[in-house]
Amino acid sequence: MEPDGSRAGAAGADGEAVTELARLRDSIDNLDAALVHVLAERFKCTQQVGLLKAEHAMPPADPEREARQIERLRRLAAEAKLDPEFAEKFLSFVIAEVLRHHEA
């Protein structure tokens, strides 16, 4: 270690990089877990929507709402500096999965 407390040489830099990589990967793991739990909650809500629609002979799909949701998500994605195309594809995938469960 240098007098100023910094590490010298490649080994020090590599050790710091390994530590930082582990920290970042832990953050990713936590975010992935949060995503799974949020999606599970979302699917619980959409399951209730599906049951309500079935009880009242309502169609499983609502294209107008889906279009509004896609536009809303694209706007939120842009505000969060996330690719709106990706956000739309993600929501479309989620909607397709919800409809698959409603029709089952």
pLDDT at 64: 96
CB 36 within 8 A of CB 30: no
Question: What integer pLDDT is reported at residue 34 of this predicted model?
Answer: 99
Domains of the chain: 59-104 (1.20.59.10)
Q: For the whole model, what pTM was predicted? A: 0.73
Task: Report pLDDT for 80.
Answer: 98
pLDDT given for residue 12 in this prediction? 59
Q: Which residues are CB-neighbours of 8 under 8 A, at least 6 positions away?
A: 1, 2
pLDDT at 1: 47
Ranges of the chain whose pLDDT falls below 70: 1-13, 104
CA angle 56, 61, 66 (to 5 degrees): 125
pLDDT of residue 101: 79
